[in-house]
Each structure stands twice: as structure tokens, then as C-alpha cells.
A = this chain, B = another copy of it.
Amino acid sequence: MYELFYWPTIQGRGEFVRLALEEAGVDYVDVARQPGGMARMLAAMDGADYPSYAPPFLKGDGVTVGQTANILLFLGQRHGLAPADEQGRLWVNQIQLTIADMVAEAHDSHHPVATSLYYEDQRPEAKRRSADFLETRIPKFFEWFEGILGRAGPKPYLLGEAVTYADLSLFQLVEGLRYAFPHALARIDASHPLLAAHRARVAARPRIAAYLASTRRLPFNEEGIFRHYPELDRADPSAP
């Protein structure tokens, strides 16, 4: 039994952990979504031997662990969502950290000045940053993912036949970008067929499909990492 500590009203970074817990089929409590849970989370964040700078963090099985990629590193080894050998574990972690870099950039596309300010207070800057994100950054990252999926012949998952936590996170990343930038992603998706197929393949895995259809899956919204602001979504960002 694990306790996941994360903000109760957004997918956010906690969603990458939720997807791994769901695919692993392990019992967990989403603490802050229970009655009194927010107070418990805020107390746990600071009071422990291993304080977290920010949610998400996870407790259970004798450990306390924070930082999304670190939680996944732990869960991957415990629950068969990563290879057992050192090179394989490092490679999955490397992909995950690259996904995390892109997630941070996706967040900053609507908050380029300060997390502490509203989007509306940084809209001109967000327009400039989103244009670059769509034109320069998404294509560069997507090309890297597409290359891994096509390396030595197309394969169903990033490492081959077996799904890893990085596959689940890549699904969430692409799904989030499709929510935030539907017009731009339709164009970009078309030129990255392996990545588009990968997203659909992860979504169809039985435990993931059941989770996505459940009330445990929060909807995307404009409080999370992936936000849909129509004025930032352009089918052709290089157009004037």
C-alpha cells in the first residue's frame, strides 16, 4: 500500500506517478483527495526526515521519496516497469529526465515570467515563448522520441516489447500537449507516426484504459501543466 501526496485538483506532475501505480496494479491512496488529506499532505511535506521541496512525493514499503522521476525510478525497479540491468535502468531514467525537461518547458510556455503570477499577467511573454515552443522545441523533442521508437526497426515501446514507466510518461506528455495545442499537435502528429501510434498503444493497455475511464483520472484544466489557451495554439507558428 502506497500513499501518494499530490495536489488534489490537477493532473500535474502527480499524474506521471498515478499512471505508473495504475499500470503496476498496486494499491495506493491519493492522500490529498481524501477528507482532511490536504492538511496531512502539507504536514508530511515538511515534517519528515526526507522533506520534499514540492509534491508529488510517495510513502510506502519503507521509503519516502520525492521528485517525479525519482519516484518512478523507485516504482520501476519494485514493480517491473524498468529493466533489471544497470544500463537498462539508466537508459529509462535518461528518457524520463528528458521527458521531464519537456514537461517543464510545456509549463513555462504559459508561465514564462513567474509561477507566482497569473497567466493573464504574462500573456505577451507567453505568446512569444509558446511560438518558439511550437516551432522549435516540440519538433526537436519529438524527433528524438520518434528516433528512439524507430531505432533498429519500429517497436511497440521505447525499449522494445516491454512497457516501462517512461512509456507511460511519454503518453501523458503527448496527451497533455494535444490538450493544450490541438491545432499545432494535429500538424506535428502527422509527421511523427511512430509517436502517434505509441500514444494510442499506451492508452489501450487494459489497466491504463480502465484508469482513464474512471473518476480517478482528473480532467485536464487551466490550473495544471498543460493548459489550453486558444490564443497560444497555432497550426503554423511560423506564419506571421
**Residues of A in contact with B (beta carbons under 8 Å apart):** 49-53, 62-67, 69-70, 73-74, 86-87, 90-91, 93-94, 97-98, 101, 104, 108, 112-114, 116-117, 122, 125, 128-129, 132, 136, 141, 144, 147-148, 151
Contact = CB atoms under 8 A, between A and B. Distances in A.
A74 B90 CA distance: 8
A132 B114 CA distance: 6
Contact of A129 (B86, B113, B147): B113
24 contacts: A49-B151, A50-B87, A50-B94, A51-B144, A51-B151, A53-B101, A53-B141, A62-B87, A63-B86, A63-B90, A65-B90, A65-B91, A67-B98, A69-B97, A70-B94, A70-B97, A73-B90, A74-B86, A112-B112, A112-B129, A113-B125, A114-B129, A116-B136, A122-B128
Contacts of A69: 69, 97
B125 A112 contact: yes
A52 B63 CA distance: 31
B144 A53 contact: yes
Given A51-B147, A70-B90, 15 more contacts: A51-B151, A52-B94, A53-B101, A53-B141, A63-B86, A67-B98, A74-B90, A104-B104, A108-B112, A112-B129, A113-B125, A113-B132, A114-B132, A125-B125, A125-B128
A130 B37 CA distance: 35
Q: Copy number of this protein in the oligomer?
A: 2
A182 to B, nearest CB: 22
Contacts of A63: 86-87, 90
Contacts of A70: 90, 93-94, 97
Contacts of A104: 101, 104
A233 B136 CA distance: 29
A99 to B, nearest CB: 10
Given A132-B114, A136-B114, A67 B94 contact: yes
B52 A66 contact: no
Contacts of A67: 93-94, 97-98
A121 to B, nearest CB: 10
Nearest to A136: B116
A53 B74 CA distance: 23
